[in-house]
């Protein structure tokens, strides 16, 4: 293992800037720069010196002896003044004494490889740093503390127990356990399935907190789409005029509803146009419609318009549709929300803001988000996919069991276990690991 180093604080000027060093040369680097290695886990105020012995900066040095450190290796932190030049000079010294620059996420990667944290916890560090709401930060902290991992570990543990039971029986056919008459297997399978459901639901909520939902506003020109974007965002992002075809490009706003992230996209009005730029805008609008989580189709409530059939036909099944009737301030319609079996209709005025609260509330509930402050952990799409796949293997396993093929059941259980374990990093390819850690910031 080589020794890595990086500036751990963000670039720019600040009161304090921190350089982090990890690896076998840490001790030697400390001696070279500080004159001696500080006592482990004790903050010491020391001069940081260059090779000629002149002082670059003075600050706090903390040494963590392996394995009692974040990475599990010897770690040194130099807390100096937060100036770019002074930190660069100090980093140069560290590199000169044999360390190399750390890649993004390399400290966390080492912590993972040395089993200080599992993969879900490592991801939670990145998610905590990137959290853009208090709820997301708290959920990331819970994952970092291992709540998500332990829920997964419990599931894995139960699968292991069931597999052991099955395999023992398979190895000793002379004992002739009648699996079907033996209800232990069926009961256990049922238990695991219901626990997977619970974990999946929590993970979905956590994923919403992290990644949010993408909502596209579409409709005819002049329906008030850009006005609605501005109203939801509380700013004048989009140009609003009474000239049809004003919006030609795709506009994006990132907003939060009670801490829940929402990506709102305003598009060009859907119509046939001779204008080349507008044609391209309409093409882009379609592209956004095809990949969003929810479509808000906006209709001027003074007209008798409705959602075009071709739109409903082209909408992917997983995409939710809400119909928003706008301009109630002139049409005189009451601001309200009404649910029909096919769709939700909301009456608002994008200009005056009336009814917008109903729309916000609707967006929140349509995300399937329950405000629960306790017990939520941050999760990623990767985790949800793994849990889903594990659940599918369990379902398949149950069918094999009903067909009396215990060998196939055992195999499905093995696969389910493998997918769950990929969440905490037990069975995870190097490619994926590389990708996950590359998204981290330098010095973490
Ligand atoms: N009275 C009224 N006018 C609106 C409302 N929403 C938008 N408008 C007007 O309708 C015109 C088109 O609005 P705009 O947001 O640019 O529509 P877009 O083409 O769908 O993006 C502008 O003159 C807006 O001021 C509303 O709720 N009430
Ligand atoms: Mg517009």
Q: pLDDT at residue 41 above 70?
A: yes
Tell whether ligand 1 has an atom less than 6 A from the beta carbon of residue 226: yes
Band the pLDDT of 257: cuts 50, 70, 90.
Answer: confident
Show the domains of the chain with their CATH numbers.
4-110 (3.30.1360.120), 124-208+381-425 (1.20.120.430), 215-366 (3.40.50.300)
What residues contact residue 106 under an 8 Å CB cut-off, 6+ apart?
4, 6, 437
Is 411 exposed, middle or buried, given 0-12, 13-18 or 19+ CB atoms closer than 10 A? middle
Tell whether ligand 1 has an atom less than 6 A from the beta carbon of residue 271: no
Calculate mean pLDDT across residues 415-443. Answer: 88
Q: pLDDT at residue 181 above 70?
A: no
**Ligand 1 center–CA 304 separation, angstroms:** 17
Whether 78 and 88 have beta carbons less than 8 Å apart is answered as no
Q: Which of 325, 324, 273 is nearest to 303 (CA)?
A: 325
Measuring from atom 14 of ligand 1, which residue has the nearest CA? 224
Q: pLDDT at residue 98 above 80?
A: yes
Question: Using one digit for the tens of pLDDT, what is the confidence trace for 350-389?
Answer: 999 999 999 999 998 887 776 655 667 888 889 999 999 9
Tell whether ligand 1 has an atom less than 6 A from the beta carbon of residue 397: no
Q: What is the pTM of this model?
A: 0.78
What's the mean per-residue pLDDT of the chain?
91
pLDDT value for 342: 79
pLDDT value for 218: 92
**Ligand 1 center–CA 227 separation, angstroms:** 6
Question: Rg of the Cα trace of the chain?
Answer: 28
Q: How many residues are there in the chain? A: 444
Residue 49: φ, ψ to 5°: -115, 150
pLDDT value for 432: 83
């Amino acid at each position: 293992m080589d020794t890595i180093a990086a500036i751990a604080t963000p670039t720019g000027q600040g009161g304090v800037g921190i350089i982090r060093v990890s690896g076998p040369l840490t001790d030697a680097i400390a001696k070279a720069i500080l004159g001696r290695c500080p006592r482990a886990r004790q903050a010491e105020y020391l001069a940081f010196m260059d090779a000629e012995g002149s002082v670059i900066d003075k600050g706090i040095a903390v040494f963590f002896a392996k394995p009692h450190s974040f990475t599990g290796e010897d770690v040194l932190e130099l807390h100096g003044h937060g100036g770019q030049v002074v930190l660069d000079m100090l980093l140069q010294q560290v590199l000169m004494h044999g360390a190399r620059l750390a890649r993004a996420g390399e400290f966390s990667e080492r912590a993972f490889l040395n089993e200080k944290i599992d993969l879900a916890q490592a991801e939670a560090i990145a998610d905590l740093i990137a959290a853009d709401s208090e709820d997301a930060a708290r959920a990331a902290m819970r994952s970092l503390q291992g709540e998500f991992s332990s829920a997964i570990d419990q599931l894995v543990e139960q699968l292991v127990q069931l597999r052991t039971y099955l395999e023992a029986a398979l190895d000793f056919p002379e004992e002739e356990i009648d699996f079907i008459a033996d209800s232990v297997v069926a009961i256990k399978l049922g238990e695991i399935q219901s626990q997977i459901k619970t974990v999946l639901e929590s993970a979905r909520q956590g994923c919403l907190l992290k990644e949010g939902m993408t909502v596209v506003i579409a409709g005819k020109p002049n329906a008030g789409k850009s006005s609605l974007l501005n109203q939801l965002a509380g700013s004048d992002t989009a140009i609003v005029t009474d000239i049809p075809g004003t919006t030609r490009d795709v506009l994006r706003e990132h907003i939060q509803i009670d801490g829940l992230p929402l990506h709102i996209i305003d598009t060009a009005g859907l119509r046939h146009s001779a204008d080349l730029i507008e044609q391209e805008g309409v093409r882009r609008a379609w592209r956004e419609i095809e990949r969003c989580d929810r479509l808000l189709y906006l209709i001027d409530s003074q007209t008798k318009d409705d959602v075009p059939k071709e739109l409903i036909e082209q909408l992917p099944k997983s995409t939710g549709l809400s119909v928003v009737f706008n301009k109630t301030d002139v049409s005189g319609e009451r601001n309200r929300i009404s649910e029909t079996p096919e769709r939700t209709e909301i009456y608002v005025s994008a200009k005056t803001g009336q009814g917008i609260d109903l729309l916000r509330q609707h967006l929140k509930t349509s995300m399937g988000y329950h405000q629960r402050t306790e017990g939520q952990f941050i999760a990623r799409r990767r985790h949800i996919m793994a849990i889903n796949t594990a659940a599918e293997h369990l379902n398949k396993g149950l069918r094999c069991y009903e067909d009396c093929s215990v060998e196939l059941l055992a195999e499905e259980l093995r696969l389910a276990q493998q997918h769950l374990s990929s969440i905490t990093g037990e069975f995870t390819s190097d490619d994926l690991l590389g990708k996950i850690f590359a998204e981290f910031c330098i010095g973490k």
